[in-house]
Amino acid sequence: MNKKEEKKPKEKPKKEKKSQKERPKSKQKHKKVQVWKLYEVKDGKVIRKNEPCPRCGAGTFLAVTKNRKYCGRCGWGQIGKADKKS
């Protein structure tokens, strides 16, 4: 090892920041989650369409994709097909 190389002053590599102009604008604006869509009332009972989060408990629903379930609140996730309770 060369001692000269070791004693080089530490220089942080400058991060290349993309200017606002370079960034492509997102087409979609963020919409608030429409929670009412996840509920349905049948015969006076509330039916929850999505699965609740096992960590957060009732009130928080999991986002269900093709092969994944994910909680946006605590970050809980599960890979694999959603199997229902038997």
User: Nearer Cβ to Zn ion, position 37 or 77?
Assistant: 77
Q: What is the 3-state secondary structure of 20-63?
A: CCCCCCCCCCCCCCCHHHHEEEECCEEEECCCEECCCEEEEEEE
User: Nearer Cβ to Zn ion, position 44 or 80?
Assistant: 80
Q: Site residues (CB under 5 A) for Zn ion?
A: 53, 55-56, 60, 71, 73-74, 76
> Which token pair is 41?
């009332």
Structure-token match 């009732």, residue found:
58
The minimum distance between CB 72 and Zn ion, in angstroms, equals 8
User: Nearer Cβ to Zn ion, position 1 or 58?
Assistant: 58
